[in-house]
Amino acid sequence: MVELISIVVPLYNKEGHIGKTLDSILDQTYKEFEVLVVDDGSTDASADVVRSYTDHRIQLIQTSNQGVSSARNKGIEAARGHWVAFLDADDWWDISFLSVMKCAIENYPENKIFASGRSRVFKDQTERYAHKLLPAVGESCILNYFQVIATDLPLINSSNACMDKALLIEHNGFNPGQRKHEDHDLWMRICTNNAVVFVNRNLSFYNKIQENSAAAQPYRFEDFNGYLDTMTLVYQKLDKTEQAWMRKYAFNFLLHKWLKNKASYTSEQLAILYGKSKALLSANGKRLLWFVYRLPLEQFYYSLKKFR
């Protein structure tokens, strides 16, 4: 059955990359799609590059700069298709990405979230996503998102997935207040009570050649606090097995964020983060977090060395 797939491309100052991204879409073997490029107030020639494409399936939506979450949400709202795929403006797809997603949708009619294998492309190497729970290369299976994140990176990123639009609307899309982990925030929410169909074919390519300078910036209190709220809300909706997986994920994630960013928060902010963080941890995790919270970082590192 022919079915329209809406592709949402958030765009901000990617004039040197957006052409390759659009070319990878137009080269798809599955042709029933629309492309919603949401220009989030670019100050370079990104919009002009998009305008140079005359394919009627490409629609340019221009807004003032409000962040990638708002841009993606505008694309979701404008989408005419039942299914929405995301592709960042400096990433690209294999020509069969959409056809493989469409085939998976037909083979798993009860599911709402689909993702393909992917690779991170660095300057000197390409690193393919791997996990012990993935099916054999070329195969598909149904996976629990929380079981996967308990030990490794998520099944989904912002350029390898195709999802039911109604599901995205039901969960209010991306959190506009999030600058970091806005994608993980949404994936956790939509994967509560929804499994992921994962097709282990290397079809999505995530550009890591030029790191976004924002990645090196401290983790804002607003982002950390909002993400903890989502983790807490999701945790309460999971069954006991999934909660155990979530606690493992929370331990690894929270310890890393606390150690890396503690010095950038006020005492009042730290108290708020501590109260929310410990609620997501096991007894041992709570004890370790207490040391991180209470001790100066230099003293904590010294204690760790003595313990070892």
Q: Is the pLDDT of residue 213 over 80?
A: no
| Domain endpoint, select from 165, 183, 213 | 213
pTM exceeding the 0.85 threshold for the entire prediction: yes
80-98 average pLDDT score: 98
- Select the more confidently predicted residue: 23 or 1: 23
Same structural domain, 142 and 259: no
**Exposed, middle or buried, 263 (CB in 10 Å: 0-12/13-18/19+)?**
exposed
Using pLDDT thresholds of 50, 70 and 90, give the confidence band for residue 303.
low
Structurally, how many domains does the chain consist of? 2
SS3 category, 124: coil
Query: Which CATH number characterizes residue 98's domain?
Result: 3.90.550.10
List pLDDT tens digits, range 215-226. 567 899 999 999
Using pLDDT thresholds of 50, 70 and 90, give the confidence band for residue 45.
very high
pLDDT at 295: 78
Same structural domain, 268 and 203: no
- The CA-atom distances, in angstroms, between 36 and each of 80, 113, 173, 194, 268 are 10, 20, 16, 26, 42
Same structural domain, 51 and 163: yes
Least confident of 140-144, 232-236, 252-256: 252-256
Same structural domain, 294 and 155: no
* CA atoms of 32 and 4, how far apart (whole Å): 5
Same structural domain, 181 and 222: no
Same structural domain, 303 and 254: yes
pLDDT at 305: 52
Same structural domain, 202 and 263: no
Same structural domain, 250 and 178: no
9-37 average pLDDT score: 98
Same structural domain, 13 and 28: yes
* CA atoms of 120 and 211, how far apart (whole Å): 12
Least confident of 137-141, 276-280, 296-300: 296-300
Query: What percentage of the chain carries pLDDT values higher than 90?
Result: 88
List pLDDT tens digits, range 238-293. 999 999 999 999 999 999 999 889 989 999 999 999 999 999 999 999 999 998 99
- The CA-atom distances, in angstroms, between 183 and each of 91, 113, 227, 256 are 15, 14, 10, 19
The mean of the pLDDT values for the chain is: 93
Q: Is the pLDDT of residue 308 over 50?
A: no
| Domain endpoint, select from 213, 236, 259 | 213
List pLDDT tens digits, range 90-128. 999 999 999 999 999 999 999 999 999 999 999 889 999
| Domain endpoint, select from 193, 213, 233 | 213
Same structural domain, 25 and 134: yes
Q: Is the pLDDT of residue 205 over 50?
A: yes
- The CA-atom distances, in angstroms, between 197 and each of 68, 101, 106, 243, 282 are 25, 10, 12, 21, 30
pLDDT at 307: 47
41 Rama sector, left if φ>0, alpha if ψ -120 to 50, beta otherwise: left
Its domain, for residue 86, covers 5-213
Same structural domain, 10 and 135: yes
* CA atoms of 79 and 285, how far apart (whole Å): 43
Beta bridge partners of 172: none
Name the pairing type of β-strands 126-128 and 196-207. Answer: unpaired
- Select the more confidently predicted residue: 282 or 177: 282
Same structural domain, 167 and 284: no
What residues have CB less than 8 Å from 247, skipping those under 6 apart?
280, 281, 282, 285
